[in-house]
Amino acid sequence: MATSTPPARDAVLLVNLGTPSAPTPRAVRRYLAQFLHDHRVVQLTRWLWCPLLHFLILPLRSPRVARKYAEIWMDEGSPLAVHTRRLAEAVQARLPDVRVSHAMRYGEPALASALAGLQASGAARILVLPLYPQYSTTTTASVVDVVEAVAADGDGVRVVDDYAVDPGWVSAVAGSIRAHWQAQGRGDLLLFSFHGIPQRLVDAGDPYRRRCEAGVEAIAAALALESADYRVAFQSRFGREPWLQPATDQLLQALPAEGVRRVDVVCPGFAVDCLETLEEIAMQNAAAFRAAGGESLSYIPCLNDAPAHAEALAAIATRALDAWRTGTDGP
């Protein structure tokens, strides 16, 4: 007689930012409303921000953003959703004794529901692994907010804060760059582009910029790059306040005047490809670079569900779970 397999006591939950469910103004508006309501993302007082968001920003922005999503939409859905699901499946294949699933901070599958479902299934230890290699109060801390709301006592759920200099992840990114150069040739400059955040957050102590730069230094060392071989910039500004500099779009438009004709761009702050990489970098910024006199912008894809990426995340999760089980991870 067949016997049922007991549920895994350990679970790993990969968490990404999120995505609209369809490339339509309605779906985009629903997604952006949830995203931009998070006080970690926009820190204005609600009485000022909510009317501005619902009566001005969402009606104007949603149709425009929906058109951008339509340009990159895959047969299976949003690239971010498709690649995140595939990545979770690849990590699961490497952790047969652990239940691996995925969730989104905004949109579906919702983080709070995924956590509650794992708890209900009998998972004694749930390791939440945000797919944000570099810690920021705007991203990882927002995941922690949800975790603390669902698991109020903190028992049974832990969060991996940062893996910006993890050797396995660094090796995976360096390997993807090296493979791209071997297949496509190497440009005059390698540009590391990260999602930006407001400068005031860094001034207030957010370590995001330091973590981005630490990761870049580790990747550059793995590739044996000289300081003149690469630059770092920050993309996706929103609003009028100062954000981290230099801005990716402005730097790309200035590079041809410096003699850079061919540029390679990699975005190691994004675990999987999404609107910000496929449309903003590979399409929009590539066109701007050429319009400024550049010859070509070659975008190096995110790690997505590459074996090296899945192996790096599985190793991070394994170390964290082993330390948790044995009590060797400190108080």
Binding residue ranges for Fe(2+)? 195, 276
Q: What is the pLDDT of residue 163?
A: 98
Binding residue ranges? 195, 276
CB 84 within 8 A of CB 34: no
- pLDDT (tens digit, 9 = 90+) per residue, 93-132? 999 999 999 999 999 999 999 999 999 999 999 999 999 9
CATH code that applies to domain 167-300: 3.40.50.1400
Q: Which amino acid is residue 137, in one-letter code?
A: T
Nearest to 146 by CA among 293, 38, 281, 32: 38
CB 117 within 8 A of CB 134: no
C-alpha 71: how far from its chain's center? Answer: 20
Q: Where in the chain is the domain with CATH 3.40.50.1400?
A: 8-19+81-162+308-331, 167-300
Q: How far is CA 147 from CA 101, 157, 263, 301, 327, in A?
A: 15, 8, 40, 30, 21
CB 267 within 8 A of CB 194: yes
- pLDDT (tens digit, 9 = 90+) per residue, 234-282? 999 988 899 999 999 999 999 999 999 999 999 999 999 999 999 999 9
> What's the whole-number average pLDDT of the chain?
94
User: What would the two tokens of residue 214 be?
Assistant: 């630490």
Q: How many angstroms separate the CA atoms of 192 and 232, rounded?
A: 5
Token look-up 């204005």 returns: 44
- pLDDT (tens digit, 9 = 90+) per residue, 249-260? 999 999 999 999
CATH code that applies to domain 8-19+81-162+308-331: 3.40.50.1400
Rounded to a whole number of angstroms, the distance between the first and last alpha carbons of the chain is: 45
Nearest to 162 by CA among 226, 84, 218: 218
Beta-carbon contacts of 37 under 8 Å, excluding residues fewer than 6 positions away, are: 50, 53
